[in-house]
Amino acid sequence: MLLVAAGAAVGAPLRYLVDRAVQARHGGPFPWGTLTVNVSGSGLLGLLAALPAGQGLMALAGFGFCGALTTYSTFGYETLRLAEDGIRLQAVLNAVISITAGLGAAYCGMALAEFL
């Protein structure tokens, strides 16, 4: 549990910082920051899951860091907020791009592990 907590202690603040930095560069209501952390976290978790990583590394980096870096709840909230604000096309695009890119990133991470 301590390894999970240590990873989360790094992942959560990094999620916040990356989200704010990306959103500052991209104006508008589309949640580019959340998309960025979710896709990058999915790729890293795919890589870790496919490596012969031990339990300690998975607890620290997989469950702790990646679990705190990525955020399904914020993705859901921001998607609903877009729809409620009448920006339905962006809400649909956010859902489709987030799911497709997240799965694609996880697959790419797993494929990268094959070469390492």
pLDDT average per 10 residues of sequence, the chain (116 residues) = 98 97 94 98 97 92 97 97 98 98 98 93
List the end-to-end C-alpha distance of the chain, in Å, as a whole number: 28
Output the pLDDT for position 27: 84
Structural domain of residue 14, as residue ranges? 2-115
Check whether 67 is labelled as a binding-site residue: yes
Output the pLDDT for position 107: 98
Sign, CA dihedral 90-93-95-99, equals: negative
Output the pLDDT for position 52: 85
pTM for the predicted model, two decimal places: 0.93
Check whether 100 is labelled as a binding-site residue: no
Give the chain's domain count: 1
